[in-house]
Chains A and B, each alone.
Chain A
Amino acid sequence: MTANDPSPNHLQLTRDGQLRHFLTLDGLSQALLTDILDTADSFIEVGERRIKKVPLLRGRTVVNLFFESSTRTRSTFELAAKRLSADVLNLDISTSATSKGESLSDTLLNLEAMASDMFVVRHSQSGAPHFIAESVTPGVAIINAGDGRHAHPTQAMLDMLTIRQHKGRFAGLKVAIVGDVLHSRVARSQIRALNVLGAEEVRVIAPGTLLPRDVEDLGCTVEYDMARGMKDLDVVIMLRLQKERMEGALLPSEREFYRQYGLNQDKLALANPGCIVMHPGPINRGVEIESAVADGPQSVILSQVTNGIAIRMAVMSMAMGGQMAERQQKQQEEQA
């Protein structure tokens, strides 16, 4: 990539604008995001059948390459791949010891030798899926399952699907994202998705220590005061708070955080009556959210999980489709 081409699209889109990798939502159009949501909608029905399989990825090998462990995300990717009839290999590779650059390259070479068709990558370092997409053999699709603080595009899209199911639209919606935005790849992808899909306002609500520099440039407004921030909301998304945030002097204590930024019934009552409550999980009850809210009627947290499988099926099948279309096109060009 050249220094002057900030768009990741030459990497993740084919010349015809189809997905071939899914690395970030940056640079993807409203039409493409809507297409992903519509495709996922069609897969929801598959999950309700007695035989929950479609043959779109039959004979394909999908490798879940998790450099950072995550049982839930990996399970939904695995289920999604299996429902698409793919063979699935799960690899949990610790990033702790020596597995820096060279061994990552070497790991990839070994996996490619097994003739994999798709890597689902989770990595603690921002940009790792980009690096893999740039160095992988042509024809192999890379799906970002979360990289560092950068992006978690499938999580953001399943959140969008959940919002669309409950609200029917994005136009006119006021959405708040509450908590540790600084360390959150989920928040970055959500802000992007909400902007592209046309939400009226995206608000981040957090203390100054948990907000990245120039966060407004991502396309959001900033509110330090949660009570003010809850006003007129249609959707509130709570982020997970890691315990280690107390150690770097980012926060004084979980108790103070919960008092200031935790979501309880009183604060939720300040939002619009139909406001839905979301959380990417796993939930810290009593730290980000009160149990009565998490399990309450406005919570849609469990439908997020269900939608996760459909979104991942959509993205995997679309990326594989893009790779196949590209391969066919190249073959035709070579023949001609």
Chain B
Amino acid sequence: MSQVDIHNDNGLKLTGGQLFDPERGLVANPGLLIRNGRIDEIGASVQEAEAGSEMNADGHVIAPGFIDLCCNLREPGNGQKGNIASETRAAAHGGFTTVCASPETSPVIDSGAVTNLILDGAASRGAVRVLPIGAITRGLEGELLSDMAGLSAAGCVAVGNGSRGVRNARILRRCMAYAQTFGLTVMFSPENSALAADGYAHDGQVATRLGLLGIPEVAETAAVMEMLLLAEETGVRLHLSQLSCARSVDMLAEARQRGVSVTADVAMHQLAFTEEALSGFDSRFHVRPPLRSESDRQALVAGVRAGILDAIVSQHQPHDSAAKQAPLPATEPGLSSIESVLSLGLELVDRGELELSGLLAALTTGPARVLGRHFALQKGALADLCVFDPRSRWLPSSQTLVSAGLHAPVMDRSLPGVVKLTLVEGREAWRASEVVL
């Protein structure tokens, strides 16, 4: 790979390899010329064009930069777990060019001031584009409406309650009706808190064997049903975050058929792992919603294949080591996952569970659609791209991981898929060093 000088307005030429075009799928790369932060030229004519630098992408895949609908940057307030600089760089390492920042910061994103703080931080220290999600209730406490119009004006792309519920259905209904007034998308991770209670593991075989406190599927499905009915009634655009149950996928498909305006995502770890991951009390796999049964996993993968689940997210939750160094019930939930999303997805492709184009769609066009953004790989489009080698491998470790959180889902074996180059508006956000493994 030749040196890429992205600051050179003479441009960067990407030749060879395959190109993931959202409209046509994977095609042979006809040649891409990037100049001034945009795709300046696309097609055979690029071969002849003059450019300051050139990269031969033979054997690689060039894709639009990935978009993550759920990422915890931990800033402001949790600097010991991560910050905008470290976690956006981790995102770039994972091939992401846009991340939606979860409102669960400290203070939470429930004011224009906090929104600006994050956007300013991202502008000065961020490696990738950051789109904040506003809190739908003040302090995320599930009681009082937040200043949603103000949040939207400050730059929040949606409103949600992170992983926290709201107090009751009446408040939820009013949240939706108010968000609908301003055309805001509402993002919820559905969980009935009374049914989830003190649980931290899927209420199934493994929790029974290990004596872990279970969260039954109905904690999710009852909440999904309630949210679908309320969205239908209020007419709000609803996005269900991080589904974990087979039944949720069925209800989602059925609601869509009925014409409810609803989209949904699933975290990559829900597609790659099951409750069995907790078998040795491995606290890394303490996640919320919990990893569920193999049949749930298969239904979620099928949901992605069928396009019922629009997006795959990282649900990246970096932690300091103390948060995970304890008996499992006392640990904090969440994986440091954003750098492994592509690799775990490629393993699903290798096992024949997903098509490569389906995986890439769920990381690009799917989440773009949820955010109401048009997305095309064409002349004049912003040059948000990632170039990865699906066949070379890397070993996640404290040396190779960029995130401040070192509790990645796989740490003891190599994974396929090395991101060679991530460009955000033509700027180099990540470039792989030559020795990865």
Contact = CB atoms under 8 A, between A and B. Distances in A.
Interface of A: 1-6, 8, 11, 26, 100-102, 104-105, 123, 125-128, 130-131, 135, 147-151, 185, 188, 212-215, 217-218
Nearest to B412: A2
B433 to A, nearest CB: 27
Interface string B311-355: 000000000001101111111000000000000000000000000
5 contacts: A5-B279, A6-B276, A127-B281, A212-B208, A218-B209
A130 B211 contact: no
A128 B411 CA distance: 22
A2 B216 CA distance: 25
A6 B208 contact: no
A3 B208 contact: no
Contact of B325 (A11, A102, A149, A213): A102
Interface string B131-160: 000000000000000000000000000000
A127 B325 CA distance: 12
Given A100-B330, A125-B328, A131-B281, 7 more contacts: A3-B277, A3-B282, A127-B328, A131-B326, A135-B325, A149-B211, A215-B208
Given A126-B212, A127-B327, A3 B322 contact: no
Contacts of B168: none
Nearest to A133: B281
Given A5-B280, A131-B281, A101 B209 contact: no
B409 A125 contact: no
Contacts, number: 103
B217 to A, nearest CB: 10
Interface string B205-229: 1011111111010000000000000
A128 B273 CA distance: 23
B30 interface: no
Nearest to B203: A213
Interface in B349-391: none
A26 B209 contact: yes
A213 B207 contact: yes
B285 interface: yes
Contacts of A8: 280
Nearest to A129: B327
B332 to A, nearest CB: 9
B355 to A, nearest CB: 25
A100 B329 CA distance: 10
B409 A3 contact: yes
A114 B6 CA distance: 59
Most buried by B among A6, A26, A127, A148: A127
Contacts of B203: 213
B204 interface: yes
The 5 closest A-B pairs by CB, nearest first: A101-B326, A149-B211, A6-B279, A1-B280, A127-B281
A101 B327 contact: yes
A101 B331 contact: yes
B3 to A, nearest CB: 39
Contacts of A104: 326-327, 330
A127 B210 contact: yes
Contacts of B216: 213
Most chain A beta carbons < 10 A, residue from B205, B212, B281, B323? B281
Interface residues of B, number: 34
Contacts of A135: 325
A3 B273 contact: yes
A100 B209 contact: no
Contacts of B214: 212-213
Contacts of A102: 322, 325-326
Contacts of B204: 213-214
A148 B325 contact: no
A3 B276 contact: yes
A131 B211 contact: no
Contact of B327 (A131, A188, A218): A131
Interface in B156-186: none
Most chain B beta-carbon neighbours within 10 Å: one of A6, A105, A147, A218: A6
Contacts of A126: 210-212, 281, 327-329
B142 to A, nearest CB: 22
A4 B280 CA distance: 9
Interface in B30-72: none
Given A6-B279, A126-B329, A130-B280, A101 B208 contact: no
Contacts of B213: 149
A130 B273 CA distance: 21
Given A2-B412, A3-B285, A130-B281, A148 B211 contact: yes
Contacts of A127: 210, 212, 281, 327-329
Contacts of B285: 3
B36 to A, nearest CB: 45
A130 B56 CA distance: 50
A29 to B, nearest CB: 18
A129 to B, nearest CB: 9
B329 A125 contact: yes
Contacts of A212: 207-208, 214
B272 to A, nearest CB: 9
Contacts of A130: 280-281, 327
A123 B279 CA distance: 19
A123 B328 CA distance: 12
Contact of A217 (B209, B276, B280): B209
Contact of A128 (B208, B280, B327): B327
Nearest to A150: B211
B329 to A, nearest CB: 4
Contacts of B322: 101-102
B423 to A, nearest CB: 33
B189 to A, nearest CB: 22
A77 B213 CA distance: 28
Nearest to B197: A248
Contact of B330 (A6, A125, A185, A218): A125
A101 B213 CA distance: 18
B213 to A, nearest CB: 8
A24 B112 CA distance: 53
Given A151-B211, A217-B205, A105 B327 contact: no
A101 B325 contact: yes
Nearest to A187: B211
Contacts of B210: 126-127, 150
